[in-house]
Structure 1
């Protein structure tokens, strides 16, 4: 009972702070104000070491969303994690996760950003290996090693910033792009590692080994969005070639994730790939210079993705941990409320009209049509959008319309616990907050397009729905078709997990094995422990051959007399 009260207390505290920060951010936005707080810790040579916090509307509104979703996750975890061991450790890890994200959001300083960045990587590793099995260990190792690449790149950026005597972003605004292009490149590549863009995409689906409340927090507003938020903060220091590079990477990530999700049967992995696709869309909009629209989509994505993971967690909880969608179905009857939450979150993900995702996603697509883009980039963008609709409607059909195949599924029910209450709050936000934030923050965007381009998004969504329905009908026999290579190639994320792990194994680990055999188990053993043991054994055997009573007594007397002489 004590732990349950702690869940409720944390939710109330987080919700209250989130409510206050949201209104404070709107106030700062309307007044065009920001607070720059600098606390001097000490001076080192000609460099001042300061603890800096930036309180503007961007950081405050994002922190309010993070706290609201974190509070909902804590409230949700009170029922979902009931009966698990080490719940106090789970609470501390989640609190550390939220604290690290808050430090990263509020810091315009590279050093304090590194503290929050590294804290996210460390705590995410502890949360991914929470169940302590081999699958969790492998996933946690891949996650932490991928994130360490970004840590090293930020450290290199900190080293280069010593030339300017300040690690704050504010010092960059007076510099030319040429002088800071190296630091911006390092930080953008570091952000690609945290946001799981190609070629760092393998760790994101692997992190699904964590508990579902952790997944809902990681994939909505904390770990994966940290990279996007950092790039948004650096939106004014880009050079044109860096935008082109970011556009190519983000489009490939969107296409790879969307195609892979269409052939996947693991419920949590499909949602993880949808997160990867949305992160690619955010990076794509940033590459076009639409920084604030990317931030708008980041906020909306946090709401409906948290709801999607929570509703999926309730479904998995009802199926006693089963995650294969081929063994699910008929949830419109057995889980009416939870299936409704699941459908609303999926429709918001696809950008269906008047839900949260529509106001940001449709804006990105239409503004992309107004930009001067090459036809291949635009084609990949809309194909990826169609794939998003396809795998979403495939998932909805599998879970709601199909007859169930798993025995015992008639015993499912929505229940009346905390999980449903947490999902209900996020449903309201996913439905109404898109229009609210669009009205409060985004203002009016003048979009002038021909008739056929204006309706292009709706046409793509319609064809995506049709493809999703057709794929769901043929999914059981998909491996027997002539495009089975496409099935395996897409389902394995273009062999990205193998490319992320096998070269490491065959290069570094195999070399380490050879060095171990040659060194620690080779010459070091020959001249070290085993060699000395063998040498002493031979000497002992030789002494035994020469040993007789008189010789032993004579040697004993020599040692005793030597000891007496040395003593006196």
Structure 2
């Protein structure tokens, strides 16, 4: 009973908290409230340690979504992780993860942001290595070391903020924007956000982190770890407009979006396809943020969280039934074998593609129309729209491989829809994935802006989606083998499918060589020359002189006579020479 109770109590508490915070956010949004709370933790002489919290509609709404998804994920874990003997430990880790995210969301202070930021990094490492095999350990190490770069950048930003006399960045954003020297803080914060949100060249850890249990993936990739970087930049959005930082971020985010979309079309691991899809959507959020539209980025962040968590839950249910096989080539005909799960997967997939009137459509279509309306270079314009086409392409490929055709695994299989606890969690998110976008659209944009575009540009988004779907069907329909030429061009296929060789560069270039070089330095200096000339030589010299001293202290007559003779000879020689 104990194992069941901790899951259910956590689910109930988080769900009720989510509803409460949602109503708070509505109240704050319509009354335009912002509360800045200072809590004096301790005061010693004239030094006060003060915790600060920022409560506005944005922080409340984001916390509400995080708690909603984490409550359903915990409820889902009750069945998914039921065979695990340490399920209580798992649930507590997830709760610590959510708590770290809460701290990060409500912090207007760089120090408390670092506490939440590092809490996310530490707990994510514990969750990635949860299954305790070599693959998990390697993935955990890659995740931890990649994120350390961002942590160091954040620490340097904290040090640089000493110029202002306070770490409450919220007061200084206007000054920082106009001060060229202070844009250094903006650059460091962007670097930190790029590592956490896995932009190029830090992208390789995100698919590797799929070694974690699927409920963790659903939480990480929807509303917590990878969105922390985007959320931080939404708060720091003043520093991105009309300067070099925003231009660089726009290029990097656009390339990340393109690279992830291309890579997902060559991947056969179900969870990795969805992970690359997350990477693509993070690129979309970062790029629209770099163009100066933080509210749009936040809107897409929330809608994406709903359908991406649902997508991972469906993937988890399929993997659970496939007896832990993740290869989409072993699937097929799942819409007959698992109709409810397949329905949820299809709805989540279509929301990801931007199917009209599902949650993804409201944010994605608006972003692409704003891009069409904005003053933007043709390369970035191409990256936006081509990446959208690639998204639809890999979504249809996934549906083609897993839902249609014949079942490609063992004829004796347990495929069914009987996991009621998992299904209830998925159906809760299904409801939100359908109405969430419309709901948020009315809440965040009660007065719609007029977007006046020529007909060709207005229809471009829809045409790109249709062309992407058609290409996905044509290229990956194995009957049309004359089109499926990717394996004939193995180098291009390998380059595209391996995220532009980024995992190799990250592991060999950024981890292996520095560790080997560090080992050599330690061997040569710490345990070599510095030991020889430092610790060991001092030890040997002291030992030698202490032994000599002991001989003198033994009160031996021979020693005294010898010493007296030596002194007498030295004095005699000096007198003769003088």
- Same fold by TM (over 0.5)? yes
Instruction: Give CA deviations for 1:158-187 in whole Å, capped at 9, x if unaligned.
Output: 111111111112221451422531111111
Decide whether the 8 Å contact of 2:6 with 2:88 is kept in 1. no
2:163 match? 163
Spell out the pairing of 1:352-501 with structure 2 (5 A cutoff). Answer: 352-408=355-411, 410-443=413-446, 444-474=448-478, 481-501=487-507
Could you tell which deviates more after superposition, 503-512 or 81-90? 503-512
Alpha-carbon distance in 2 for matches of 1:214, 1:263: 24
Q: 1:311 to 1:476 in 2, by over 3 A?
A: farther
Alpha-carbon distance in 2 for matches of 1:384, 1:102: 32
Decide whether the 8 Å contact of 2:322 with 2:414 is kept in 1. no
Find 1:308's aligned residue among 311, 326, 334: 311
1:344 paired to 2:350: no
1:511 paired to 2:511: no
Decide whether the 8 Å contact of 2:53 with 2:107 is kept in 1. yes
Q: 1:452 to 1:324 in 2, by over 3 A?
A: same
- What are structure 1's unaligned runs of at least 5 residues? 532-557, 559-568
2:64 match? 64
2:549 match? none
Instruction: Give CA deviations for 1:381-423 in whole Å, capped at 9, x if unaligned.
Output: 1000000000000001111112111014653110042100000
Could you tell which deviates more after superposition, 38-47 or 375-384? 38-47
Decide whether the 8 Å contact of 1:319 with 1:409 is kept in 2. no
Q: 1:495 to 1:476 in 2, by over 3 A?
A: farther
2:87 match? 87
Decide whether the 8 Å contact of 1:78 with 1:418 is kept in 2. yes
Q: 1:445 to 1:380 in 2, by over 3 A?
A: same
Deviation at 1:3, TM superposition (A): 1.1
Could you tell which deviates more after superposition, 50-59 or 497-506? 497-506
Spell out the pairing of 1:190-201 with structure 2 (5 A cutoff). Answer: 190-201=192-203
Alpha-carbon distance in 2 for matches of 1:119, 1:338: 33
1:335 paired to 2:338: yes
TM-score (norm 2): 0.88
Decide whether the 8 Å contact of 2:173 with 2:236 is kept in 1. no
Q: 1:82 to 1:528 in 2, by over 3 A?
A: farther
Q: 1:2 to 1:373 in 2, by over 3 A?
A: same
Could you tell which deviates more after superposition, 434-443 or 101-110? 434-443
Alpha-carbon distance in 2 for matches of 1:528, 1:30: 69
Spell out the pairing of 1:218-229 with structure 2 (5 A cutoff). Answer: 218-229=220-231
Spell out the pairing of 1:517-528 with structure 2 (5 A cutoff). Answer: 517-518=523-524
Alpha-carbon distance in 2 for matches of 1:52, 1:530: 51
**Partner of 1:175: helix, strand, or coil?**
helix
Deviation at 1:40, TM superposition (A): 2.8
Q: 1:131 to 1:261 in 2, by over 3 A?
A: same
Q: 1:506 to 1:13 in 2, by over 3 A?
A: closer
1:294 paired to 2:297: yes
Instruction: Give CA deviations for 1:323-373 in whole Å, capped at 9, x if unaligned.
Output: 000000001110000000000001001110000000000000001000011
Find 2:212's aligned residue among 206, 210, 213: 210
Spell out the pairing of 1:150-299 with structure 2 (5 A cutoff). Answer: 150-177=150-177, 178=179, 179-238=181-240, 239-299=242-302
Alpha-carbon distance in 2 for matches of 1:231, 1:395: 32
Decide whether the 8 Å contact of 1:334 with 1:410 is kept in 2. no
Alpha-carbon distance in 2 for matches of 1:44, 1:248: 49
Decide whether the 8 Å contact of 1:48 with 1:166 is kept in 2. no
Decide whether the 8 Å contact of 2:206 with 2:275 is kept in 1. yes
**Partner of 1:415: helix, strand, or coil?**
coil
Decide whether the 8 Å contact of 1:46 with 1:165 is kept in 2. no
Decide whether the 8 Å contact of 2:487 with 2:493 is kept in 1. no
Deviation at 1:43, TM superposition (A): 6.8
**Partner of 1:51: helix, strand, or coil?**
strand
Instruction: Give CA deviations for 1:61-83 in whole Å, capped at 9, x if unaligned.
Output: 00000000000000000000011
Cα RMSD after superposing both structures:
2.3
Alpha-carbon distance in 1 for matches of 2:294, 2:48: 31
**Partner of 1:165: helix, strand, or coil?**
coil
Alpha-carbon distance in 1 for matches of 2:297, 2:116: 22
Q: 1:479 to 1:209 in 2, by over 3 A?
A: farther
